[in-house]
Amino acid sequence: MGITDLERAPAAEALQRACGEGRISLEEFSVRVGAVWAADEHEELVKALDGVVAMRQPIVGESRSVAETNIRTIMGENHRSGRWNLSRYLKIFVLMGDMKLDLCEVALSQEALSDGVVDIKGTCVMGELTITVPEGVDVELYGSVIMGERSLKLAPVPKLPGTPTIRIHLTVVMGDVKVRSAGLEKKGVLPRWARELLGR
């Protein structure tokens, strides 16, 4: 027997809570919530929630005590990847440096999930900034460029329902800013939870 959106909605909310509590990353949330809204059978809903709704052992970096709100790089390198906590608002500043922010495994604040938006604002002066987001997460890129370069390249896939929009407001002066979907740069093996969910 098929299921309705009334049955899908509580499952999507459960995943949203899990992401807000830091139990799953933005990338895992994106894949699982997409599976929820695409589910036609009850068994598919159960599979999408498997191991998430039940309490799991904490993993490294899962603490919700400190979320990043301000990241600066001055004449150096600053790379953030893997598990880290991202707040609803993030300010960044790059001066003659190299900053790479990978948002795929971030744990989002509950405020970001509730609002459906993450705002990243900042300045890049004579530096390089690369931001990577999960496939299916929408990005809006705004701001001015003075003697620099700014590019946005997202994977041509539908926006996954329930995922937040990443709004990036940047002033670029003689700098280089790139925003990319992870699928365009990562060609490795899917994580175990994704392989199990997709049956691969």
Q: Which residue has the tokens 């049955």?
A: 7
Quote the pLDDT of residue 151: 94
The reported pLDDT for the residue numbered 193 is 54
What sections of the chain are H helices per DSSP?
Answer: 5-20, 26-38, 42-49, 110-115, 192-198
Pick the closest to residue 180 from 150, 153, 141, 158 (CA basis). Answer: 153
Beta pairing class for 85-95 and 68-74:
parallel
- CA angle at 98 for the pair 191 and 153, rounded to the nearest 5°: 55
Q: For position 180, what pLDDT does the model report?
A: 94
With beta carbons less than 8 A apart as the criterion, state whether 172 and 124 touch.
yes
Which SS3 state, helix, strand or coil, does residue 183 take? helix
**73: helix, coil or strand?**
strand
* Chain position carrying tokens 């003075």: 146
Q: What is the CA radius of gyration of the chain?
A: 18
For the chain, domain boundaries: 5-60+192-198, 68-184
Residue 138: both structure tokens together: 């929408």
Which pLDDT belongs to residue 97? 94
Q: Give the HSE-up count for residue 89: Cα atoms under 13 Å, Cβ half-sphere.
A: 3
Give the separation between CA 167 and CA 99, rounded to whole angstroms.
Answer: 18
Whether the Cβ atoms of residue 197 and residue 34 lie closer than 8 Å to each other: no
pLDDT confidence of residue 148? 93
Q: What is the pLDDT along the chain (200 residues), one digit of tens a residue?
A: 578 777 788 888 888 788 877 788 888 888 888 888 888 888 888 888 887 765 444 455 544 445 678 999 999 999 998 888 888 999 999 999 999 999 988 888 888 888 889 999 999 999 999 999 988 889 999 999 999 999 999 988 888 877 889 999 999 999 999 999 987 655 444 555 555 565 54
